[in-house]
Structure 1
Amino acid sequence: MTEEDHVDIPSTPFLGLAPFLRASIEGQDLQAFARAALGNLNQFPLDANLWMNLSTLMFSLGQRESAFATQNQGLTLQRSFEIPALTQPSSFRILMLMVPGDIAANTPLDCLLEGSDIDLFCHYCALDALLPDPLPPHDAVFIAIGDAPQHRPLLTALATALNDWPVRVLNRPQAIPNTQRDTACQILHDIPGVLMPTTYRISREQLAAVAETSQPLTHIAADLDFPLIVRPFDSHAGRDLERVANIAALQRYLDQVSSTEFFIAPFIDYSGADGLFRKFRIALVGGKPFAVHMAVSAHWMIHYVNAGMYEDTEKRQEEAQFMLHFDAFITRHGQALGMIAERMGLDYVCFDGAETQAGELLIFEIDHVMVVHAMDPVELFPYKQEPIQQIQNALRQLLATTTAETE
């Protein structure tokens, strides 16, 4: 391929997730964006940024097969991409080490840092392309790779490569496996005031034996009983997550979900005295807790986008009280939050949880790939701006400390 072949490739910016998430929240037509990107690719098929942007759009639209194929095409052209700070020169430069995959595969740090003065240099790692070459100038390395069995070889290789790195490495790769569901519950279950039921990783055959032969759940673990929470081993964002009340429901679930491995755990009724469920997201930045959001719903399986928060003023008022008076939450759970941060060993990590009627801190899942943003309409959610700014400031402080330590 000659140099002239590249002359007409436009300087399309690599957008990351943030602009598309904002567009989705605002109700814009992502299909129209995808059509436009496809049209541009017909004219500029060597534009790697265009391929990657289209891949993110397709993941956002649920077109996973096409999204993976599109991403693969982009990564054959290049593996490193930059999201420059809104204002230049930037204050900090983060080298983000990522992995090919869907939206849940990596920390979407660009959503939290949208419009900031921090440059993000995103490199999609492979065992034969572990680090960008040449290395860009950077003040810190951030391991954005979410835990998964297929990512373990990369994490192991990165742990070795970054062992004596000249700048600080945030979210050390050897701590990432702590976020796997069954590992996390083992790490956190005995913290006073914390309730994280034991999660078991089991095969389809084991579940089928319970469903088809009425084999008791105690054959899997002595403390197991219905109702159960069941999800595929590789599930994220509530995909195929179900509350299974009995053997018949378990059989129906297996008939509908084709996965070969599952996580199961006891279902904990975390409803309040009014029968409603409240689930919050907490960010731990440098060990300090911050409120991200809280959703209120009549259903136990809460996703913020379908909990009615946009439509219900009373729910938003309750969330506002939670976020604006988060100090009261820290007073109740401060010791537990400190122990959680210490045991997880990650500089930046989030967890979804609730408070039981007995006052325990119930943790559903904990990892560093959860979305944190300040994109909800200000007119509906004015109370979110300051708490999210506090998270951004905490990350900046972490970076400032990191930079000072290495100078």
Structure 2
Amino acid sequence: MHPDFYEPLAVAEPECADRIGMARLAKLAFDGGDLRPMWRDLIARLIDGTADAGEGLDLSLIAQLLGDKQTGLAIQQDVLKSQRLFRSPCVAKQPRLRVLALAAATDMGSNTPIEFLLEQSGIDLMILYVIPEFELPVPLPDHDVAIVIASDSEDCRAALDQIDRAAVRWPRPLLNIPRQVCNLDRDKLYRLLADIEGLVIPATIAVARGQLQEVSRSAGVLAGIATELAFPIVVRPRGSHAGVGLAKIDDGAALERYLSERQEQEFFISRFVDYSDEDGLFRKYRVVFVDGRAYACHMAIAERWDIWYLNAGMTASASKRLEEETFMHTFDIGFARRHQTVLAALVERVGLEYFMIDCAETADGSLLIFEADNTAVVHNMDPPSVFPYKSPQMHKIFDAFAAMLERRARCGRERAA
């Protein structure tokens, strides 16, 4: 049957559990606030049975923000047995749009942190957790536009599959469809982008622990895995993000030490690319794509190759911040123009309405891609006294995201008319 003839899924007014949510709790933690009093209050309410589902999910998030991921996920699992639809705070009494975000029951870093994007938008945000033990609700909560916020990680695959099976009958526009989210997996991403001229993305190869143990004993085994591989290599556990387990390995002895400290059974390896500039510093960029357009998100500068914004010393360096500010202010006529053709091809291949890349520029001017995903944090939490240029740039992204949702919702209504 042609997809146009599928009967759309029914919708009805939603019954949501209200919560404090990610944006407010993460901001409190980011600013150095003490979450423990809130934790103690909510855990007492949970134990005596007076906590509602929204408070339970907030408690799960607080546990993770305090570093207790295992407890947080256990609380989340228990809460989701009875309630799977939640509403985030909205600044407008009469929201201009209703958005349904489709999440997986995973840790706080494996769903798009969409609350940061919509916190001040006046848009009503509902988050529906899709879990294998339960079918999607019938009818669905009514909404104007839906977006998949589950990531490509292994623990999200069941949720993505469940959403994908329903996608053809989805009653409203559905953004970031699951089959394209799955292309962000590191090994798939290489195959998707490798032949784009002006783009460098080292082959990311999945290997078992046993293969790496063989490599640690004989470097020649690397060429048998892939002809381009030789020490130094970059290793990370499969499914990891945010630099967890990431290491540059220079020789077999270093690989043996690495494996002795890791328990994972599957890894990704790739060749190491030295992207340092003439001054010896490494510069890493995060670029966000909203409906096909690229926006500067941040720039980190450090002496080390494995850069994250928080380890780059940006707060302590006025010169680094000035360079980041210049990157943001000149992005459209500088970085985006230099890589215009590459970025356009990347958008077409990835096919998602919202995603981001972490990247760098090589010595020959090519765009070096480290990763692409849909869950990196895009936020406005940095202190304006230190980063006065950031808030206007973040609001460009937030406004573009809200405008995209409104545009897609309007198109959906026009098609249905």
> What range is the shorter-chain TM-score in?
over 0.9
The amino acid that maps onto 1:340 is: L
Residues 289 and 295 in structure 2, CA contact (< 8 A), matched pair in contact too: yes
Matched residue of 1:331: which SS? helix
The answer as to 2:149 corresponding to 1:174 is: no
Name the structure 1 match of 2:10.
none
Q: Percent identity among equivalent residues?
A: 39
SS in structure 2 of the partner of residue 77 of structure 1: coil
Alignment partner of 1:211 is 2:216: yes
Say which SS state the counterpart of residue 36 (structure 2) adopts: helix
Which of 221, 229, 234 does residue 224 from structure 1 map onto?
229
Compute the displacement of 1:25 (Å): 2.1
Equivalent residue for 1:353? 359
Distance change >3 Å, CA 63–CA 321, structure 1 → 2: same
Kindly provide the CA deviation profile for residues 3-62 of structure 1, in whole angstroms up to 9, marking residues without a partner as x: xxxxxxxx9841232112212221212334323332332344552222211111222222
Are residues 1:162 and 2:167 paired? Answer: yes
* Post-superposition CA distance 1:165-223 (Å, at most 9, x none): 23210101111111000101111111111111000000000001111355531121111
Indicate the residue corresponding to 1:302 in structure 2.
Answer: 307
Within a 5 Å distance, the mapping from 1:15-94 to structure 2 comes to 15-94=20-99
Residue 391 of structure 1, aligned match among 375, 397, 417: 397
User: What is the identity, as a one-letter code, of the residue corresponding to 1:370?
Assistant: A
Q: Tell me the residue number matched to 1:98.
A: 103
Larger deviation: 120-129 or 264-273? 120-129
Q: Find the aligned partners of 2:81 and 2:301 in 1 and give their Cα distance.
A: 44
C-alpha displacement at 1:134, in angstroms? 4.3
**Contact conserved, 1:82 with 1:121, CA < 8 A, in 2?**
yes
Deviates more, 1:201-210 or 1:381-390: 381-390
Partner of 2:377: 371
Residue 341 of structure 1 corresponds to 347
Q: Deviations for 1:70-107, whole angstroms, at most 9, x for unmatched residues?
A: 11121123111111421121111111110111112211
For the residues of structure 2 that align with 1:293 and 1:31, how far apart are their CA atoms? 31
1:127 and 1:65 map into 2 onto residues whose CA distance is: 20
CA distance in 1, matches of 2:218, 2:335: 46
100, 114, 117: which one pairs with 2:119?
114
- TM-score, length-scaled by structure 2: 0.91
CA deviation after TM superposition for structure 1 residue 139, in Å: 0.8
d(CA) in 1 for partners of 2:38 and 2:243? Answer: 26
Structure 1 counterpart of 2:128, from 107, 110, 123: 123
Give the residue type in structure 2 aligned to 1:398: M
Task: Give the letter aligned to residue 190 of structure 2.
Answer: C
Distance in 1, Cα, partners of 2:274 & 2:159: 38
- Is the partner of 2:141 in helix, strand or coil? coil
> What code does the residue aligned with 1:378 have?
P
Distance across 1 between alignment mates of 2:36 and 2:370: 33
- 1:227/1:33 Cα in 2 relative to 1: closer, same or farther (>3 Å)? farther
One-letter amino acid matched to 1:142: I
Question: Residue 299 of structure 1: CA displacement?
Answer: 1.1
Distance 1:358 1:90, change over 3 A: same
- Residues 350, 367 of structure 1: 8 Å contact kept: yes
**SS of residue in 2 equivalent to 1:51:** helix
Q: Which ranges in structure 1 are unaligned for 5 or more consecutive residues?
A: 1-10
Is it true that 1:191 corresponds to 2:229 in the alignment? no
What is the CA-CA distance between 1:145 and the residue it aligns to?
A: 0.8
CA separation in 1, counterparts of 2:226 and 2:175? 36
TM-score, normalised to structure 1, is 0.93
Secondary structure of the residue that 1:67 maps to in structure 2? helix
Q: Alignment RMSD, CA only?
A: 1.7
In the other structure, the counterpart of 1:312 is 317
Q: 2 CA distance for matches of 1:378 and 1:349?
A: 25
Q: C-alpha separation between the residues in 1 aligned to 2:139 and 2:165? A: 19
Say whether the 8 Å CA contact 2:219–2:230 is kept in structure 1: no
Q: Distance in 1 between matches of 2:228 and 2:205?
A: 11
CA distance in 1, matches of 2:30, 2:316: 14
Give the letter for the 1:363 counterpart.
I
Contact preservation (8 Å) 1:167, 1:402: no
Out of 232, 239, 242, the residue aligned to residue 237 of structure 1 is: 242
For the residues of structure 2 that align with 1:106 and 1:151, how far apart are their CA atoms?
Answer: 9
The corresponding residue for 1:323 is: 328
Moved more, 103-112 or 199-208: 103-112
Distance 1:213 1:227, change over 3 A: closer
- Are 2:218 and 2:252, in contact at CA under 8 Å, matched by a contact in 1? no
Paired letter, 1:318: E
Question: Letter of the aligned partner of 2:43 in structure 1?
Answer: L
Distance 1:43 1:311, change over 3 A: farther
In structure 1, what residue type is equivalent to 2:216?
A: A
